[in-house]
Amino acid sequence: MGVDFESILDRLAEKVADKVRIKMLQTGHASAGTAVQRRLFTVADAARYIGRTEDAVRHMIDSGKLPVVRIYTRISLDKEDLDDLIRQSKKNG
């Protein structure tokens, strides 16, 4: 009874492809036909999104400059609030 390595590799490739698709959907990086846009970010994701540190984002939350969404015990930041912060921070000249 021999091992069918080709079959094993095919199954492994399918599993990897499934995990990549799921991760892309979760992060909003899916292709146009299947794109799911994330609305809520973690503090770390929000920091990357606006180009600041996590500590800076936490400071903005603590000072009331950035509202949070609390679902049970998890703190998330709404992408629309982050976009508003960027818009409000724009200055001419």
Domain ranges in the chain are 10-88
* Paired tokens of 65: 């400059």
For 33-87, write each residue's pLDDT tens digit: 555 678 999 999 999 999 999 999 999 999 999 999 999 999 999 999 999 999 9
Cα(93)–Cα(91) distance, integer angstroms: 6
Give buried/exposed letters for 66-76 (b at 16+ CB in 10 A, else e).
bebeeeeeeeb
Its pTM stands at 0.60
